[in-house]
Amino acid sequence: MIRVEKLSKTFDSFTAVNNISFEVAQGEIFAFLGPNGAGKTTTIKMLTTLLRPTSGTIELDGLNPAHQQKEARQRFGIVFQDPSLDNEQTAYENMELHGVLYHVPHKVRAQRIEYLLKLFELWERGDDYVKLFSGGMKRRLEIARGLLHTPKILFLDEPTLGLDPQSRNQLWTHVKHLNETERMTVFLTTHYMDEAERVAHRIAIIDHGQLVAQGTAAELKARTNSESLEAAFLALTGDSLRDESAQSADQMRQFAKMWRR
Amino acid sequence: MSAIYILWLRELKRYLRSRVQIVVSLGQPALYLVALGFGFGPVFAKAGAGSYLQFIAPGVMGMTVLFSSVFSGIAMLWDRQFGFLKETLVAPVPRLYIMLGRTLGGATVAMIQGVLILLVCLIAGFRPQHWISVPFAFVFVAMIAIVFAALGTTIGSVIKDMQGFQLIMNFLVMPIFFLSGALYPLSHLPLALSIVTRMDPLSHGVDGLRGALIGTWRFGFILDIGLLGTMAAVFLGTGAYLFSRIEV
């Protein structure tokens, strides 16, 4: 369903993603893990046509997103790392707008919006402005919105960041359910190892822009002789803190962007 | 096409829902009208130039449409900040449609503002020379709105923070306003200034409004419409191009 070959992204002199290759099968839940600034979000942005790769190829459901952008976009749903809702519109209007942009036929649209808002327990709040929603509700709405056009692939970039355990638990239950019932492929990133272990069929770990390991949670643990996925993760990526380098890398990236324009 | 419509509708809804903002955005032009219109009125009349209120009302209309439409484009900064921009950028519709929906929505809001300020002008005592030519004023309001909404989108596609916004305000939008002849007649200016004012699209918008409302033309209908039309095409083109290049 997703095929990535020798993918790289360079921001001027900084290489955010360095020659990575992997495949995700249809119906698979694939977790993409890595420390801050390792290149997770950059990879997702390239997969979802928001960034042009410097080199390498991407295939989504047999399509090349660089050339068949519109078709590719129609096939995936995405929940971004930071919110992307229109706060000044109601939940229903946010769904409606998405439905129009994604060519969901008028009749089906109303039904699907109702179904999804009910599924994510937001139906009663459908006519409230999104700015009045809590963080958890916003996340749920974003996922509901991402599913509106029945995508074949769902990208989730740290969807549980800042959520309480209840919301996280509920969110993954939904995602697993959709994956099982609709055979939807899921590509996710997270910092919570227990989540990755619980929901993902396969895991890839990226560090400094390079893939350091791929496999099931059990395989990764066996390979590193670790008891938990967290220990395996630390064994593979080292235990030095990344915040500093990640931040300066972010700054550099922004700086580079600024001067390119 | 429905993508253009839904984004146009979004702009309109946002405007109609923020009642406070509607009042606030009419406050400044109303102040210009009253303070300058009546304040400079006697001086203007003494110079033998007639009623300053009559003169400045079309200028204040032009100013309202200018600010309203440029701001609508720059409001993209907020959509960038709050993330909504991404949702539209990753949608399976041509970026051109997204850009057109936003721009036309902003232009529509600016037109409404322009009409509202005309009502304020009427209340303040402004009277069009011939009511029959008022529809032509709406044509110019629409042209100004489209030109500057497209310029706003162009700017909004490039700037990423508030500093950029300040820069644009001080070195682009304010000069466009002050050099347009909205507040003073463009005759007897030093040569350099005269050339600059002729290149300012708002000069032609305000000139058109004066022509339609009080019957005085400086550049003439054909030149005004022609220049505004050309500018609209240029800004829509660059805006569409730069919008299509946005990476988040």
Calculate mean pLDDT across residues A158-168: 85
3-state secondary structure B48-90: CCCCHHHHHHHHHHHHHHHHHHHHHHHCHHHHHHCCHHHHHHC
Contact B83 A85 (CB under 8 A): yes
**Per-residue pLDDT tens digits for B171-209:** 999 999 999 999 999 988 999 999 999 999 999 999 999
- Contact, A56 vs A8, CB < 8 A? yes
Q: Which of B98, B93, B85, B6 is nearest to A71 (CA)?
A: B93
Contact A101 B17 (CB under 8 A): no
What pLDDT was estimated at residue A244? Answer: 46
Q: How confident is the model at residue A171 (pLDDT cuts 50, 70, 90)?
A: confident
Q: Dihedral of CA A117/A112/A84/B106: which sign?
A: negative
Residue B92 CA: distances (Å) to CA of A51, A107, B98, B244:
15, 20, 10, 13
The C-alpha atoms of residue A71 and residue A63 are separated, in whole angstroms, by 8
Q: How confident is the model at residue A165 (pLDDT cuts 50, 70, 90)?
A: confident
**Per-residue pLDDT tens digits for A52-99:** 899 999 999 999 988 899 999 999 999 998 889 999 999 999 999 999
Coil, helix or strand for A9?
strand
Calculate mean pLDDT across residues A129-155: 93
What pLDDT was estimated at residue A243? Answer: 55
Output the pTM of the full model.
Answer: 0.88
The strand pair at A185-189 and A153-157 is best described as parallel
- Contact, B123 vs B153, CB < 8 A? no
What pLDDT was estimated at residue A228? Answer: 87
Residue type present at position A131: K
Contacts of A80 in chain B (CB under 8 A): 83, 86
Contact B248 A50 (CB under 8 A): yes
The structural domains of chain A, with segments of one domain joined by +, span 2-260
What pLDDT was estimated at residue A250? Answer: 56
Which two three-digit tokens encode residue B64?
């309202």
**Per-residue pLDDT tens digits for B229-247:** 999 999 999 999 999 988 8
What pLDDT was estimated at residue A261? Answer: 42
Beta bridge partners of A9: A17
Give the total residue count for chain B: 248
**Nearest CA-CA distance, residue A198 and chain B, Å:** 29
What share of chain B in percent tops pLDDT 90? Answer: 80
The C-alpha atoms of residue B225 and residue A251 are separated, in whole angstroms, by 46
Calculate mean pLDDT across residues A98-119: 95
Contact A48 B90 (CB under 8 A): yes
What pLDDT was estimated at residue A254? Answer: 58
What pLDDT was estimated at residue A82? Answer: 85
Give the residue from chain A lying closest to B164, CA to CA. Answer: A258
What pLDDT was estimated at residue A61? Answer: 93
Give the residue from chain A lying closest to B2, CA to CA. Answer: A100
- Is the Cβ of B19 closer than 8 Å to some Cβ of chain A? no
Q: Dihedral of CA B192/B193/B194/B200: which sign?
A: positive
- Contact, A23 vs A2, CB < 8 A? yes
Coil, helix or strand for A185?
strand
Give the total residue count for chain A: 261
Contacts of B84 in chain A (CB under 8 A): 84-87
DSSP output for B202-233: HHHHHHHHHHHHHS--SS-HHHHHHHHHHHHH
Those residues whose C-beta lies under 8 Å from the C-beta of residue B180, and which sit 6 or more positions away, are B59, B62, B66, B197, B200, B202, B203, B205, B206
Strand order in the sheet with A14-24: A14-24, A2-11, A55-60
Q: Which of A225, A210, A84 is nearest to A159 (CA)?
A: A84
DSSP output for B178-205: HTTTSSS--TT--HHHHHHHHH-HHHHH
Which two three-digit tokens encode residue B26?
């009419």
Contacts of A258 in chain B (CB under 8 A): 160
Phi and psi dihedrals of A39, rounded to 5?
120, 10
Chains A, B: CB contacts within 8 A come to 74
Strand residues in chain A grouped as ranges (E): 2-11, 14-24, 29-33, 55-60, 76-79, 153-157, 185-189, 202-207, 210-215
Residue type present at position B113: Q
At the topology level, CATH places domain A2-260 in Rossmann fold (3.40.50)
Distance of CA A247 to the CA centre of its chain: 21
**Per-residue pLDDT tens digits for B55-106:** 999 999 999 999 999 998 888 888 988 889 999 999 999 999 999 999 999 9
Calculate mean pLDDT across residues A99-120: 94
**Nearest CA-CA distance, residue B59 and chain A, Å:** 32
What pLDDT was estimated at residue B212? Answer: 95
Which two three-digit tokens encode residue A224?
């590193």
Contacts of A71 in chain B (CB under 8 A): 92
Q: Which of B99, B102, B28 is nearest to B64 (CA)?
A: B28
Q: Please give the DSSP secondary-structure letter assigned to residue A22.
A: E
- Contact, A214 vs A200, CB < 8 A? no
Mean pLDDT score across all residues of chain A: 88
Q: How confident is the model at residue B220 (pLDDT cuts 50, 70, 90)?
A: very high
**Per-residue pLDDT tens digits for A24-38:** 999 999 999 998 888
Contacts of A78 in chain B (CB under 8 A): 90
Torsion of CA A153, A159, A165, A169, to 10 degrees: -10
